Chains A and B, each alone.
Chain A
Amino acid sequence: MTATTLTTGAAPRQIRGGVIGMLRDSWVVAKRNLRRMTRIPEIVVFGLMQPVMFVLLFTYVMGGAIQVPGGDQNAYKQYLMAGIFAQTVTFAVAGASAGIAEDMTKGLVDRFRSLPMARSSVLVGRTVADLVQTAFTVLVLAIVAFIVGWRFNNGILKALAAFGLLLLLGYAFSWIGALIGLSVRSPEAATSAGLIWLFPLTFVSNAFVPVSSMPSWLQPIANWNPFSATVQACRELFGNPTGVPNHSWPMEHAVWVSIGWSLLILAVFSYLSVRKYRSATA
């Protein structure tokens, strides 16, 4: 036995309140989640495979059959990528929902709750870690897209701005995932609940086909879809073809609509998630 004392009333720590304390705690939790990702690399690898497969399938299998009005066969490839990027970032929902649902079933959450840390930091740490993973996925995806011939044509700054919009959308969506994860309480249910609604959301949009090809009753929905705004904004910023000119209001102001939607989703779902997490303790 060593001479270490295990206890004997150390002075209680100053609790760091406020935003600084919350950010610090969140970073500790985010580090934990990032470490987990390196320990379970399958999660990251499989998270990459789906979008890479989409790029390859759409480019080489479907691409030949889908014509972007006013463009050649190469045009669809250029048109498509923003859609795939956006779909990829929103699929981060599944990671957040499964991860949080899993945490909630384990004793570790009780440990967190018994510590003098900011309550919201468990969720913030999770979503920040997912954001890092998403950024990594988008980077790899951009490289694959580049290899198959996708290009951005408006300079690096606008391209970075586009990636910024994508990550903001992804971050906002991971809070939807957080709420799902807190609501279902089983990691398996969380994975499907996190994914299922993303298919209609991402397909009833301008991501893969121009909205003008849809029935007229569906077009307003697709135009106002938060997802469409980000895709349109990215196409503009990347200098990629945007298909048939779309004169609906959200499409004409795509960058601002994209930011607005993301911030709105972020505000609503982070509020609901933190409230849900807190009430789970009572």
Chain B
Amino acid sequence: MSEAAISAEGLVRTFGDVRALDGVDLDVPEGTVLGLLGPNGAGKTTTVRVLTTLLRPDSGRATVAGVDVLKHPDKVRSLIGLSGQYAAVDEYLTGQENLQMVGELYQMSAREAKARAKELLEWFNLTDAAGRIAKTYSGGMRRRLDLAAALVVRPPVMFLDEPTTGLDPRNRMALWEVIEQLVAEGTTLLLTTQYLEEADRLAHDIAVVDHGRVIARGTADQLKAQIGGERVEVVVTDPSMLATAVDALAPYAIGEPTVEPHTRRITVPVTGGARVLADVIRELDANDVLIHDIGLRRPTLDDVFLSLTGHVTESDEDKDDEGAPDGQGAKSRTDSSSDANRKKARV
């Protein structure tokens, strides 16, 4: 039997009037990655804080690596690594000193801690900066140092709370590679993110969280399948061709086409995959429609998210908001109309 490395049942936590967690149930089988996906204030960070013993829930129960989080928090702490949204390192200590301190606090001997620190710095390409204080590090370097600190004891269960928020694409990629390596080595991982792409790439399973509840659960493919089919997207070179193009597409459409005149874009739901795409191209060509861009789109997690929550992730909001859940839930609820527009522009 595959034990759940992380499991939570009915976690509830309120801050004043806000129910930050409103009955969260989770289970993460050993060696897998669960992506906790949701907008700011959905309860992602609060869930992580409960599971990492930083916060006591009002009710509910949770175990990590088989150990009860509420009854034996100390034992849980020796089994987990946590890397948060902000780099939890001492900026006046060097990289080496930071990791060594964490090692010693994990009850390693000074020599052991030193050796492990050196190893991790090398792994995270921080050897050159090992003797510099962390204040001089770039954002990406600090985040790597923070992740290294979470790995000091080779924890079997890791919690990464928005590990790449605020990182540039290059650093994000580098961090993804490290995370993939962790998983390949058998670590169980709970990852929160507002980046759908990140969840799509890293997570085996995705739990969509909104207003303190898990509102959907499955693999990325399952979630996408849940909201249905493929679409052909055509951008014509001239707006005057839109009408002709819509007519030409009509035989292949299995639903109403969407036309966006200002972007010269037509989206039609189809079925049949790449073959349909080839047919559509021939048909448009036969009708003298000049194609600027064309493609077959499968639903993205963005679409999933939109259809599940009525609003997209608010990835452009200040990441710090997540730390203070007060009022966030109410805020995200009112955003759906403008989000729908934003989403359309992105697809």
A residues lining the B interface (CB < 8 Å)? 1-2, 4-10, 12-16, 21, 25, 28-29, 31-32, 35-36, 39-40, 106-108, 110-117, 281-282
Contacts and interface: CB of A to CB of B under 8 A. Distances in A.
B186 A107 contact: no
B105 A112 contact: yes
A115 B88 CA distance: 12
Interface stretch (B153-161, B233-241, B269-277, B283-291): B153-161
Given A114-B52, A282-B55, A6 B151 contact: yes
A8 B106 contact: no
B156 A9 contact: yes
A105 to B, nearest CB: 11
5 contacts: A6-B178, A36-B92, A36-B93, A107-B86, A282-B56
A12 B151 contact: no
A6 B93 contact: no
B133 interface: yes
A5 B133 contact: no
A6 B122 contact: no
A36 B133 CA distance: 10
Interface string B81-107: 010101111101100010001101111
B82 A7 contact: no
Interface residues of B, number: 46
A53 B205 CA distance: 65
A161 B320 CA distance: 51
B185 A14 contact: no
B269 to A, nearest CB: 44
B105 A115 contact: yes
B107 A15 contact: yes
A116 B122 contact: no
A111 B102 contact: yes
B55 A6 contact: no
A39 B133 contact: yes
B123 A4 contact: yes
Interface string B128-158: 0000010000000000000001010111101
B78 A13 contact: yes
Contact of B92 (A25, A28, A40, A107): A40
Contact of B122 (A2, A10, A35): A2
A116 B74 contact: yes
A282 B70 CA distance: 11
Contacts of B79: 12
A1 B177 CA distance: 11
A107 B149 CA distance: 13
Contacts of B122: 2, 4
